[in-house]
C-alpha cells in the first residue's frame, strides 16, 4: 500500500452537530485513504459513519451547522475553505434512499442536473449521459421517469448522476439498504467495477459484512464517533472479541473459525478466513 498516493487525510477531526458542549458525532478522527482503495465503514447506527462521509465532500463543515475541529484534505484541497460545488469534482455521494435524491422528469435530466450547475456544454452533457448510463447498465432508459424505476435502478441512477461530475472518489452511505437482492447485486457489482477498472476510490458504509469482507481493501470500524479498527478485512475481523463487544457482526465463516478455535475443535491460525472461497479452502477437510 505504501506506494499508493494518499488522497484523503483526516487530521484530528471532531464535529458536533450542536454546540461543543454536546457529545461529538465524530471524535478526533485520524484517517488516511489512498487512491484506488475500496474502504468499508462498519459500525452501528449512530457510530458516526455518515458524519465522517459528509466531511469528505465538505458538506461538513460548509453546509451543515455545527462545531468543526481539525482538518480534512482531499486531493490537496482543504475542505474547510473549498466550496462544496468545487469538491463535487472530486467526490460523488450516493445515499441510502434514492427517492430523496431524485427530482427530475427523466433519467437523462436527472444526470444533467448536477452537470448544469458545473457549467458543462450541451455536447459534453449528452456524451457524458450516455457514458455514465453505460457504466451503470441503464442505457436505453434515458427518457424514463426516475420514479418508475426499480429500487436497484434508482440507486444506479444516483451513482450515474454522481459519476457525471467525473469524481475520483465515490462515497456511498448504505446504498443497498432499500433495494431487493437483485438490486443489491447490481449496486455492489457497479461499485466493484468502478474500483477495479477505473481505479476509483470507493468509501462505502454498509451492514453487509460478508460482501464488504470480499470487496474491501480496508475495513474501518467506528464506534461512538471514534475509529476503533482500521486495516485489511483479515486484520480487522481477527479482532473477534472487540467486534462482538461492539455488537457488530463479522462474516459467518470468520465467526466459525473463531468458534472452532475456542472450542478446541480445530486449530485455526490467525488471520481467520473472511471470504467464502478462502473458508472453503481452509476448511475443506473439516467435515
Partner 1 sequence: MEPLIKVENLWHIYPVGNVTALRDVSLNINRGELIGVIGQNGSGKTTLVKHFVGLLKPTRGKVYIDGEDTAPLKVQQLAAKVGYVYQNPNHQLFARTVQAELEFGPTNLGLPEDEVAERVEQAIKFFGLEDLRDLHPYRIGFPLRKLVGMASIYTMKPDIFILDEPTTGQDNITTRKVYHLIEKLRDEGATVLCVAHDMILLAEVVERMLVLRDSELIMDGTPRQVFSNHEVMASTHITPPQITILSLRLRKDQQTLDDVVLSVDEMIELTKQSNTGKK
Binding site for partner 1 (CB under 8 A): 43-46, 96, 150-151, 174, 177-183, 185, 207, 210, 247-249, 251-253, 255-256, 259-260, 263, 265-266, 276, 279-280, 283-284, 286-287
Residue 8 CB, nearest distance to partner 1 (Å)?
A: 25
- In the complex with partner 1, the residue whose CB is nearer, 163 or 220, is 220
Q: What are phi and psi of 117, to 5 degrees?
A: -70, -20
CA 274 to the chain's CA centroid = 19
- In the complex with partner 1, the residue whose CB is nearer, 136 or 253, is 253
- In the complex with partner 1, the residue whose CB is nearer, 108 or 248, is 248
Residue 178 CB, nearest distance to partner 1 (Å)?
A: 7
- In the complex with partner 1, the residue whose CB is nearer, 1 or 265, is 265
Strands (E) across 45-168 are located at 67-74, 77-78, 91-94
Indicate the pairing of strand 91-94 with strand 67-74. unpaired
Q: How far is CA 240 from CA 154, 206, 251, 270, 286, in A?
A: 36, 19, 11, 11, 21
Contact (Cβ atoms closer than 8 angstroms) between residue 175 and residue 236: no
Residue 253 CB, nearest distance to partner 1 (Å)?
A: 6
- In the complex with partner 1, the residue whose CB is nearer, 78 or 180, is 180
Residue 221 CB, nearest distance to partner 1 (Å)?
A: 12
Contacts of 94 (CB under 8 A, 6+ apart): 101, 155, 158, 159, 162, 170, 171, 172, 173, 175
Rg (CA), the chain: 20
- In the complex with partner 1, the residue whose CB is nearer, 48 or 167, is 48
Q: How far apart are CA 172 and CA 41, in angstroms?
A: 10
Residue 114 CB, nearest distance to partner 1 (Å)?
A: 26
Residue 260 CB, nearest distance to partner 1 (Å)?
A: 7
Number of other CB atoms surrounding residue 277 within 10 Å: 10
- In the complex with partner 1, the residue whose CB is nearer, 69 or 185, is 185
- In the complex with partner 1, the residue whose CB is nearer, 4 or 249, is 249
Contact (Cβ atoms closer than 8 angstroms) between residue 108 and residue 144: no
Q: How far apart are CA 267 and CA 258, in angstroms?
A: 9
Residue 87 CB, nearest distance to partner 1 (Å)?
A: 27
Residue 33 CB, nearest distance to partner 1 (Å)?
A: 23
Contact (Cβ atoms closer than 8 angstroms) between residue 77 and residue 87: yes
Contacts of 170 (CB under 8 A, 6+ apart): 91, 92, 94, 159, 162, 163, 191, 194, 200, 201, 202, 203
Amino acid at each position: 500500500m505504501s506506494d499508493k498516493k494518499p488522497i484523503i487525510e483526516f487530521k484530528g477531526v471532531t464535529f458536533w452537530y450542536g454546540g461543543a458542549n454536546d457529545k461529538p458525532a465524530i471524535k478526533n478522527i485520524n484517517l488516511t485513504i489512498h487512491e484506488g482503495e475500496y474502504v468499508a465503514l462498519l459500525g452501528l447506527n449512530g457510530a458516526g459513519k455518515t458524519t465522517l462521509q459528509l466531511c469528505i465532500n465538505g458538506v461538513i463543515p460548509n453546509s451543515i451547522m455545527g462545531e468543526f475541529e481539525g482538518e480534512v484534505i482531499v486531493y490537496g484541497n482543504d475542505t474547510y475553505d473549498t466550496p462544496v460545488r468545487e469538491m463535487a469534482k472530486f467526490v460523488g455521494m450516493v445515499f441510502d434512499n434514492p427517492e430523496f435524491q431524485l427530482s427530475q422528469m427523466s433519467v437523462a435530466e436527472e444526470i444533467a442536473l448536477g452537470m448544469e450547475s458545473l457549467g458543462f456544454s450541451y455536447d459534453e452533457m449528452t456524451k457524458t449521459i450516455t457514458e455514465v448510463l453505460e457504466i451503470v447498465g441503464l442505457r436505453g432508459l434515458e427518457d424514463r421517469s426516475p420514479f418508475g424505476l426499480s429500487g436497484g435502478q434508482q440507486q444506479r441512477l444516483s451513482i450515474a448522476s454522481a459519476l457525471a461530475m467525473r469524481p475520483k472518489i465515490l462515497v456511498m452511505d448504505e446504498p443497498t439498504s432499500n433495494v431487493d437482492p437483485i438490486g443489491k447485486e447490481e449496486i455492489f457489482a457497479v461499485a466493484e467495477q468502478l474500483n477495479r477498472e477505473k481505479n476509483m476510490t470507493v468509501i462505502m458504509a454498509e451492514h453487509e459484512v460478508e460482501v464488504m469482507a470480499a470487496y474491501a481493501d480496508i475495513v474501518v470500524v467506528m464506534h461512538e464517533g471514534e475509529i476503533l479498527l482500521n486495516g485489511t478485512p483479515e486484520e480487522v475481523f481477527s479482532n473477534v472479541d472487540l467486534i462482538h463487544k461492539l455488537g457488530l457482526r463479522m462474516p459467518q465463516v470468520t465467526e466459525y473459525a473463531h468458534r472452532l478455535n475456542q472450542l478446541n475443535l480445530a486449530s485455526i491460525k490467525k488471520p481467520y478466513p473472511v471470504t467464502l472461497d478462502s473458508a472453503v479452502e481452509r476448511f475443506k477437510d473439516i467435515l
